[in-house]
Amino acid sequence: MSAQALRVTDLHAYYGESHVLHGVSCHIERGEVVTLLGRNGAGRTTTLRALLGLVSRRSGSVLVNGAEAIDLPTHRIARLGIGYCPEERGIYASLSAEENLLLPPPVAPGGLALEEIYDLFPNLRERRTSRGTHLSGGEQQMLALARILRTGARLLLLDEISEGLAPVIVQALAHTIRRLRERGYTIVMAEQNFRFAAPLADRFYIMERGRIVAAFAASELGAKMPVLHEFLGI
Amino acid sequence: MSTVLGIPVPVILGQLTLGLVNGSFYALLSLGLAVIFGLMGVVNFAHGAFYTLGAFAALLGLQYLGINYWLALLIAPLAVGLLGVLVERLLLRHLYGLDPLYGLLLTFGLALIVEGSLHQVFGASGQSYPVPEALAGAVNLHFMFLPLYRAWVILASVVVCFSTWFVIERTRLGATLRAATENAPLLQAFGVNVPLLVALTYGGGVALAALAGVLASPVVLVNSHMGNELVIVVFAVVVIGGMGSILGSIVSGLVLGLIEGLTKVVYPEASNIVVFVIMALVLILRPAGLFGRE
């Protein structure tokens, strides 16, 4: 198996007629945590969606664990071992919390058992019979994360998971991400919240207008602050 | 003899029972329509045609292949369901994302083609399907003699309808279906083969219509336009229950059958329009339907 979990080359994506990604190239090593940073509308969410084929049209190359995915339908891409946590969390209102948890089918062996997940997210055990959307925002985010850990996916695409959550919940999420990283998961996060992402990621990509405009490692963070100022206004 | 409002009670009970038989067909057909509409947003105007095809499959299977009634109950829905899968894969899938009107027009066209072809080949006069031996005869309900076959129709329909409801509302497969109804792209991003799920759901909904057709074949004349009148009432039932509501379609189907039966006793002239009057009232007072989400 290829050492790279993900290699994206010259990825273009379109929503209807509008051209939204203009040749994105990036790579994620196995076991890495990488964050896509950028302003609103820079293309972070679109990049994650385009990786899964959730756009009208795309071109370029997307290698997932060494396999070309550019021409595959979305469900086949997921089965290459990807777990996706969408920006709006995607909790199903017509399903209970536990039904939400059990919804995604296994895509690879080695997924967490239900009990392990409940040990990791004790709140979800208490709320298992509640309707998915009756959970608090934090619980819904935990649920969205938990349900892809069941599937055996080792490459997680997490879209804005800290958005709109109380600081104490964001801290708990950061703790969870660290634990996942220790377990060897490969994680790609699209984040607007730099403070949340900075201490978690091994590397950063900065996006602007559907392109990657800068890339650097966590160790370069101090030296790269002027770049961050320029593109993120932080 | 006891009476209510001057009408003998046995007469009322008799019409209610016959109403329940009609309601059984309404429920089976509207259930399929509701499942299809819920998942695909397609108003399946070909539903009556698939019901007719189910009855013809049973009739022709008996005449040419010697397939008996019980086997036909299984085989006809499977064959028609398969045809439904083909229709979805080859035709309907090209219309997703467009105005629902296109799906309605396509299925309406299909219905006309099926009906016209059957008319061309088999003529306008109907043929009857023999009542299976095991269900010949009648049971004495004291207020009426209910033909055993009609009792069987009620039983079979109620069992099939509530089994379908159970599968959708209480099982893992049903949870997947409900999720696809709510947000299909995300479900596909989890690795579920949504296009296949949609095709099988359409096939399943259509198979329910075909099953109703087989069940109906011994009590109606099997002819090319048998689905026609029925499906208009069934659409009214679906509107009353709430488009896409599973339980709503079953309950409204059965209850409207009963109401129709009762109307036959109280004011027979209105029995053909009572469902549509109720539909109009529901549309005015609660447009999402009795069981639909506002």
For the stretch A120-159, pLDDT in tens is: 888 899 999 999 889 999 999 999 999 999 999 999 999 9
pLDDT cut 70: percent of chain B above it? 99
Which domains are seen in chain B, by residue range? 14-285 (1.10.3470)
**CA-CA-CA-CA torsion sign (B263, B268, B270, B273):** positive
At B146 the pLDDT is 86
**A73 contacts in chain B (CB < 8 Å):** 188, 195
Q: What is the pLDDT of residue A230?
A: 82
Residue of B nearest to A104 (CA): B190
Please give the model's pTM, rounded to 2 decimal places.
0.89
pLDDT at position B161 is 95
Q: pLDDT per residue over B219-276, tens digit each? A: 999 999 999 889 999 999 999 998 878 899 999 999 999 999 999 888 888 888 999 9
Residue-level pLDDT at B244 = 76
The per-residue pLDDT of chain B, averaged, comes to 91
pLDDT of B196? 95
Report, as an integer, the average pLDDT of B184-210. 96
**Using CA atoms, how far apart are residues B167 and B72, in angstroms rounded to an integer?**
23
* Closest residue in chain A to residue B176, using alpha carbons only: A103
pLDDT band at A68 (very low <50, low <70, confident <90, very high): very high
**Cβ-based interface (< 8 Å): residues of B facing A:** 172, 175-176, 178-179, 181-183, 185-195
> What is the residue type of A147?
R
Mutate to test the interface with B, among A77, A85, A88, A99 (most CBs of B within 10 A): A99
Instruction: Give the nearest chain A residue to B193 (CA atoms).
Output: A75
Tokens of A61: 């190359």
Helix, strand, or coil here: B200? Answer: helix
CA distance B290 to chain A (A): 18
pLDDT of amino acid B272? 87
Dump pLDDT digits (tens) for A192-220: 888 899 899 999 999 999 999 999 998 88
Give 3-state DSSP helix, strand, coil % of chain A, rounded to 5: 35, 30, 35
CA distances from A26 to A12, A83, B248 (A): 13, 18, 51
User: Residue B175: its chain A contacts at CB < 8 A?
Assistant: 95, 99, 102-103
Share of chain B above pLDDT 90, in %: 69
Cα(A221)–Cα(A199) distance, rounded to whole angstroms?
A: 10
Question: What pLDDT score does B141 carry?
Answer: 81
Q: Output the pLDDT for position A234.
A: 66
- Would you give the DSSP letter of residue A171? H
Q: Does the pLDDT at position B294 exceed 60? A: no
Look at residue B140 and give its three-state secondary structure: strand
Q: What is the pLDDT of residue A1?
A: 53
Q: Is the pLDDT of residue A99 over 80?
A: yes
* 3-class state of residue A141 by DSSP: helix
Q: Once rounded to an integer, what is the mean pLDDT over residues B2-12?
A: 80
Q: What is the dihedral angle through the alpha carbons of B276, B279, B280, B284, rounded to the nearest 10 degrees?
A: 180
pLDDT score for A176: 92
The predicted-structure confidence for B97-145, as pLDDT tens digits, reads as follows 888 899 999 999 999 999 999 999 998 888 889 999 888 888 888 888 8
Q: Do B190 and A99 touch (CB under 8 A)?
A: no
- pLDDT tens, residue by residue, A166-175: 999 999 999 9
Dist CA A102 CA B190 (whole Å): 11
Kindly report the backbone phi and psi dihedral angles of residue A123, in degrees, each rounded to the nearest multiple of 5, phi listed first.
-60, -35
pLDDT-derived band at A52, boundaries 50, 70, 90: very high
The minimum CA-CA distance between B197 and chain A, rounded to whole Å, is: 12
Residue A6 has phi, psi (to 5 degrees) of -150, 130
Average pLDDT over residues B89-97: 91
Residue A3 pLDDT exceeds 80: no
Contact A173, A161 (CB under 8 A): yes
Distance from CA of B169 to the nearest CA of A (A): 9
**Structure tokens that stand for B203 in this block:** 């096939």
Residue in A84, A94, A95 nearest the CB of B189: A84
pLDDT of the residue at B2: 77
Q: Would you place residue B9 in the very low, low, confident or very high pLDDT band (cuts 50, 70, 90)?
A: confident
Place of tokens 């946590």: A85
CA distance A158 to chain B (A): 13
Task: Report CB contact under 8 Å: B182, A93.
Answer: yes
